[in-house]
Amino acid sequence: MERIPILRMGDLLLVTIQVDMHDRLAMTLQDDLTERIVRDAAKGVLIDISALDLVDSFIGRMISNTAAMARVLDAQTVVVGMQPAVAITLVELGLTLHGVKTALNVEKGMTLLGKSFS
């Protein structure tokens, strides 16, 4: 089964999505990520979607739901690297990604997560 790697960096988990997301992969990532948040006692999750050219409504909801689950597990989520076409699609679909912070790149996302812990 295909999986997206989740890397630990101190109190943070880094997820870099380098493949086209499909529904099953998104569900597997959600399960893997929530398990890792608990196992590693992560305080932050950085999801890099810079390689995604397209996000449909299901994937958009999965990102939002994953961030909500992370919050319940006491971890903040920042999504980085969103392409303009993805942002346009999400807005056109009416998906506002409640509770999901965004940043232009990994560096800015790490800074944003660092401020969340202060």
98 pLDDT tier (thresholds 50, 70, 90):
confident
118 pLDDT tier (thresholds 50, 70, 90):
low
Domains and CATH numbers, the chain: 6-109 (3.30.750.24)
Query: What pLDDT was estimated at residue 114?
Result: 85
Measure the CA–CA gap between 90 and 56, rounded to whole angstroms: 8
12 SS3 class: strand
Query: What pLDDT was estimated at residue 58?
Result: 87
Q: How far is CA 13 from the centre of its chain?
A: 10
Measure the CA–CA gap between 99 and 80, rounded to whole angstroms: 14
| Mean per-residue pLDDT over the chain, rounded | 91
